[in-house]
Amino acid sequence: MSSRPPVAQVESDVACLELFHGPTLAFKDFGGRFMAQMLAEVAGDQPVTILTATSGDTGAAVAHAFYGLKNVRVVILYPQGKISSLQEKLFCTLGGNIHTIAIDGDFDACQALVKQAFDDQELKEAVHLNSANSINISRLLAQICYYFEAVAQLPQEARNQLVVSVPSGNFGDLTAGLLAKSLGLPVKRFIAATNANDTVPRFLTTGQWEPNTTVATLSNAMDVSQPNNWPRVEELFRRKIWQLKELAHGAVSDETTKETMKELAALGYLSEPHAAIAYRVLRDQLQAGEFGLFLGTAHPAKFKESVEEILGQELPLPQALAVRAQLPLLSHNMAADFAALRQFMMTLPSLTKPVPSPCRERERISHCSGRLNTSSLPAEAASSKAYPSRLKSTSCSLRSKRFLMIKRLISPRAFLA
């Protein structure tokens, strides 16, 4: 996985920070891999059970980051039938120490089950429970870094009037961006871009927190009505004496999302629904003299069916997806019932040694290049030799002085409590 996510120019005053060039083709690879290595180092020989909910990308990033780690079991909850089939295949075909459960409900129902589990002290102590969602601050620490890396790639004139648009569901990525700003990142303003699940934009407009029932959209990873990270956003504004009204926002319908994807295609840039929403709100609110940066959080091929239908062209699968697409699902089905989840977790087999991971050896993950031409996608996009993204060993970095400094700054309770 490249340590430098590319900034792709889309228009003279707009660029995309492409965060989808990692092992699972989504921005959450950054936080997931960092968290897994940190947790393994801090936990030592203590067994840990990771419980997380996903609306798509988190599940894959967490599953691949923790797959095969000694003394770690992972349980991933996801809303049945509400993520793309390719997203599901990426993390529900591993087996071993990765346990996936399709919940009969939406993402908010999955999050509610996770919260109930962490409120159950007996369960927490019995299985040594920890989280891999963005409520675990270690996820966000890694995400802070790519904001600085993005700005470092921009010309000086762009940095002076920079506006960053973040596709927002659970608001972890926006939280990381605001943390970066609080550390000195030169951003004029952030934009929180959502789909029809617009609890936050309505709150910022009316002052009333009134979550609606979550609705399914093209941008399914953002189908969240009660974002867990919103209290962090409010706290950051309070501590920095910023005004919440300074946070720009916008919500985009599915129809507008489709039109925006076509608009981007006409500009020569292939996008998917989440990035298209961030671009749309950015383009509508960008003022003269400003430079806009929107986040590309997932590879377009992860939404192959919808992208092909909207744009009317075939999209070749990167090898990471092509390999997984052929494997059978290993998920359990479960009602949104905490008693059932609790029983499942209490009866999980113990793990005391690393899980064999032959898939890691035979899968040489490849992906399309940074700038995707919509008229003729490169054939080598499906070639593992053309774009290897094999993650290098992190053992050296874990022993580095920088890692030791970070370890001292972070209390083990942040991981093990």
Q: Give the whole-number percent of the chain exceeding pLDDT 70.
A: 83
Position with higher pLDDT, 211 vs 408: 211
Can you give the pLDDT at residue 380? 32
Same domain for 199 and 143: yes
Rounded Cα gap, residues 391 and 36, in angstroms: 13
Q: What is the mean pLDDT of residues 66-83?
A: 93
Q: Which of 311, 345, 373 is the last residue of a domain?
A: 311
Position with higher pLDDT, 227 vs 412: 227
Can you give the pLDDT at residue 364? 33
Domain count, the chain: 2
| Per-residue pLDDT reduced to its tens digit, 262-280 | 999 999 999 999 999 999 9
Q: Where are the beta strands (DSSP E) in 221-345?
A: 248-251, 291-296, 332-335
Cβ atoms 221, 54 nearer than 8 A? no
Can you give the pLDDT at residue 46? 87
Same domain for 253 and 207: yes
Q: Per the domain annotation, does 385 fall within a domain?
A: no
Alpha-carbon torsion 403, 404, 407, 409, what sign? negative
- CA 369 to the chain's CA centroid: 20
> Using 50, 70 and 90 to split pLDDT, how confident is the model at 248?
very high
Q: In the annotation, is 28 catalytic?
A: yes
Alpha-carbon torsion 346, 347, 353, 355, what sign? negative
DSSP tag of 48: E
| Per-residue pLDDT reduced to its tens digit, 142-185 | 999 999 999 999 999 999 999 999 999 999 999 999 999 999 99
> Using 50, 70 and 90 to split pLDDT, how confident is the model at 32?
very high
Same domain for 240 and 191: yes
Q: Per the domain annotation, does 390 fall within a domain?
A: no
> Using 50, 70 and 90 to split pLDDT, how confident is the model at 1?
low
CA atoms in the 13 A half-sphere facing the CB of 3: 6
Can you give the pLDDT at residue 24? 92
Same domain for 164 and 85: no
Rounded Cα gap, residues 32 and 21, in angstroms: 14
Nearest to 220 by CA among 85, 322, 344: 85
Considering only CA atoms, give the Rg of the chain. Answer: 20
Can you give the pLDDT at residue 351? 57
Can you give the pLDDT at residue 11? 98
> Which residues 6+ apart lie within 8 Å of 310 measured at CB?
258, 261, 262
Q: What is the mean pLDDT of residues 362-373?
A: 35
Q: Per the domain annotation, does 16 fall within a domain?
A: yes
Same domain for 236 and 118: no
Q: Phi/psi of residue 338, each to 5°?
A: -65, -35
Same domain for 267 and 142: yes
Q: Per the domain annotation, does 380 fall within a domain?
A: no
| Per-residue pLDDT reduced to its tens digit, 314-362 | 999 998 789 999 999 999 999 999 999 999 999 998 755 554 443 443 3
Q: What is the mean pLDDT of residues 225-233?
A: 94
Same domain for 249 and 344: no
Can you give the pLDDT at residue 86? 85
Task: Report the CATH number at residue 244.
Answer: 3.40.50.1100
Q: Per the domain annotation, does 256 fall within a domain?
A: yes
Can you give the pLDDT at residue 134? 75
What mean pLDDT value characterizes the chain?
84
Same domain for 209 and 285: yes
Q: Where are the beta strands (DSSP E) in 27-97?
A: 48-53, 72-79
Note the residue count of the chain.
417
Can you give the pLDDT at residue 389? 30
**Amino acid type, 137:** I
> Using 50, 70 and 90 to split pLDDT, how confident is the model at 416?
very low
Position with higher pLDDT, 355 vs 72: 72
Q: Could you list the residue range(s) of the whole structural domain that residue 166 is in?
A: 7-26+138-311
* Alpha-carbon separation of residue 143 from 26, 27, 146, 177, 304 (angstroms): 12, 8, 6, 8, 26
Q: Per the domain annotation, does 226 fall within a domain?
A: yes
Same domain for 258 and 143: yes
Rounded Cα gap, residues 219 and 279, in angstroms: 13
Same domain for 130 and 47: yes
Can you give the pLDDT at residue 3? 64
Same domain for 285 and 152: yes
Same domain for 331 and 264: no
Does the pLDDT value for residue 28 go beyond 60? yes
Q: Per the domain annotation, does 84 fall within a domain?
A: yes
Q: Per the domain annotation, does 2 fall within a domain?
A: no
Q: Give the whole-number percent of the chain exceeding pLDDT 90.
A: 69
- Set 28, 89, 181, 304: catalytic member: 28
